[in-house]
A and B are shown apart, each in its own frame.
Chain A
Amino acid sequence: MSDVRREATPEHARVSILRGSSDGGTRSAAVGALLAGGTLALGISAPWVSPFDPLAIVGPSLSPPSLQHLLGTDALGRDLWSGIVWGARASWLIGLTTALMTAAIGVLVGIASGLRGGRTDHVLMRVTEFFQALPRFFLVILVLAMFGAGMDRVVLVLALTSWTGLARVVRSEVMSLREHDFVAAARAAGATELQVAVGEILPNVLPVVTVLFGLTVGRVMLIEASLSFLGLGDPSVVSWGALAGQGQAFLRSAWWLATFPGAAIAASVLGLNLLGDALNERWATGE
């Protein structure tokens, strides 16, 4: 028995943190869609719903929320609501880009591992474990130290280190799928390995990939926000984390600066988690 580690933490040990929350899932799905969809819509429609240029000085310094400035202004007199709206765009863009790359790698590794089995599986799972053991947050900071600041490298490092969970789940799905008759039928009809993977396996793992995709977007948003909060993001881009970081210095005098950007992140991630949870429950029970 060579594959000790995999057995040491079998899939049954990996319990979803979100599972078991719902009432059949409909209500939490609706709330989730509202929260996540709301901030996503804000980001998409930023040029139209943002009253001011988020970087322009448009009001008095540190003015509390008012009709003029819905969420108040920062120390330079910039409108916080406009910043939040444009921050939605940045957060979602980074979350979606990273999660797409993550999903691509995870699906590729998971299908290759599950379908081929044997030596390929063994090697790929070792590689997966290695990436799982890398402390992501600290790796990003090391990369920033060596290569200088920039969002491109943050996205790249997060994508290259976030696919492991997805690959594991896809792999175990594929392992049970490949025993099914429809796969054998496709093989008997002369389908190549690639045709089986793309035509038969891929459509069947898409539900679970969708769920994990949503959760990954949320997780990436959180990490990116933390980095930007610490001032390690792109200074020319308005992001929720950066806004919250700038608010830190004015915690005593301007509570709104620190409160609203963090709430926007929490709302988006909560929405994505609720949505993923509800979809998961629905598909798992085959409704």
Chain B
Amino acid sequence: MTRRYVLERLVQLIPTVAGILLVSFILIQAAPGDPILALAGEHGDEAYYAAMREHFALDEPIATRLLTYVERLARGDLGMSRSQGRPVSVVVWERVPATLLLTGTALLFSSAVGVLLGVLTALRRGSGWDLAANAITLGLYAAPVFWVGQVALLVFAMGVGLFPAFGMRDPDPAGGWSAAALDTLRHLALPALVLASQQLAGVARVTRTTVSRELGKDYVRAAYAKGLPGRIVLTRHALRLALLPVVTLVGHRVGYLLGGAVVVESIFGWPGLGTLLLSSLQSRDAPVVLGIFLLVAGVVVLANLVTDLLYGLLDPRVRYV
């Protein structure tokens, strides 16, 4: 991977980011009726309307509006939330840790367990375990995330009573710091597993396919013929190439995962960006919805960039001259 590749990949960010800004800008401008009503809802007071008019430069010509929009975003100024009366950036930022904890856990868990499951089933193709895993991952891949959540709630929270059904922590946890952490972990387990389920199925299936494919190739046979133990052949040779598509899959599905987080947060009452998004939509607090959209779009663009750079780093065949 050369510096030129990294540079070109960075330059390619410009049209993408510009496009995202333009799409969101056009949506604001194209809203039916007075854009101020679409942005600020019908129940705002005059002072808020005036502030929003000023923020989005609605009385200015369109070119000035666009410039103002981009300039304020560049400063991190996303306007004021009507329902909360605080800056959108603050309101949104508060919710980031909870969503990060939920999606981060789901991402790590689905990647680790998915790869493990994929490798194990590739090594035991056709066995009973393989067939069972295949049926389960096919099912999980097709099941809507809210259904997985509802069934998990019915079985594990309400049925067995193993996990709490709602929220991120008990209202009044006894004990100190470690008890609080344990309490959060107990609340986290079920939503994180539910969010991870579909991704885990995808990762396991792709890993199984690519590992079996690599295992059939000449270089793997050559490595075996040299007398290398199977574990070494697998981890040092086959897995390295087999995991490339997995990296792509995980990296390019960050947007899906965050979309799934909205549903999971709503089911489990997880106080993250998803619940904020839905409550803002209900209270017609469009600046917050816009802020979350821009944040998620930024995260997706960044994830794609990291994925591609990682891919270039991992794949010996990708050399850019």
Task: Identify the A interface with B (CB < 8 A).
Answer: 1-2, 4-5, 7-9, 13-21, 126, 129-130, 132-139, 141-148, 218, 222-223, 225-226, 229-230, 232, 241, 244-245, 247-248, 251-252, 255, 258-259, 261-263, 265-266, 269-270, 273-274
Contact = CB atoms under 8 A, between A and B. Distances in A.
B138 to A, nearest CB: 6
B126 to A, nearest CB: 10
Interface residues of B, number: 76
Interface in B269-321: 277-278, 280-281, 284, 286, 289-290, 292-293, 296-297, 300-301, 304, 307-308, 311-312, 318, 320-321
Contacts of B15: 126, 130
B208 A136 contact: no
A251 B134 contact: no
Contacts of A126: 12, 15
A258 to B, nearest CB: 4
Given A135-B258, A273-B141, A18 B205 contact: yes
B281 A20 contact: no
B158 A251 contact: yes
Contacts of A16: 209
A257 to B, nearest CB: 9
B281 A4 contact: no
Nearest to B290: A142
Contacts of B19: 130
B24 to A, nearest CB: 7
B35 to A, nearest CB: 8
B23 interface: yes
A251 B153 contact: yes
A135 B301 CA distance: 9
Contacts of A269: 142-144
Interface in B175-221: 201-202, 205-206, 208-210, 212
24 contacts: A1-B321, A4-B12, A21-B138, A126-B15, A129-B12, A132-B252, A135-B259, A135-B293, A137-B256, A138-B262, A138-B297, A143-B27, A144-B281, A146-B28, A146-B30, A226-B146, A252-B158, A255-B154, A258-B147, A258-B150, A258-B154, A262-B143, A262-B147, A274-B138
A137 B281 contact: no
A270 B154 CA distance: 22
A19 B263 CA distance: 28
B154 A19 contact: no
A218 B142 CA distance: 8
A133 B304 contact: yes
Contacts of B141: 17-18, 273
B139 A270 contact: yes
Interface of B: 5, 8-9, 12, 15-16, 19-20, 23-24, 27-28, 30-32, 38-39, 134, 138-139, 141-147, 150-151, 153-154, 158, 201-202, 205-206, 208-210, 212, 244-245, 248-249, 252, 255-256, 258-260, 262-263, 266-267, 277-278, 280-281, 284, 286, 289-290, 292-293, 296-297, 300-301, 304, 307-308, 311-312, 318, 320-321
B290 to A, nearest CB: 6
Contact of A145 (B209, B260, B286): B286
Nearest to B303: A133
A260 B221 CA distance: 49
Nearest to A232: B281
A242 B252 CA distance: 29
Nearest to A265: B144
B281 to A, nearest CB: 5
A148 to B, nearest CB: 8
A176 to B, nearest CB: 20
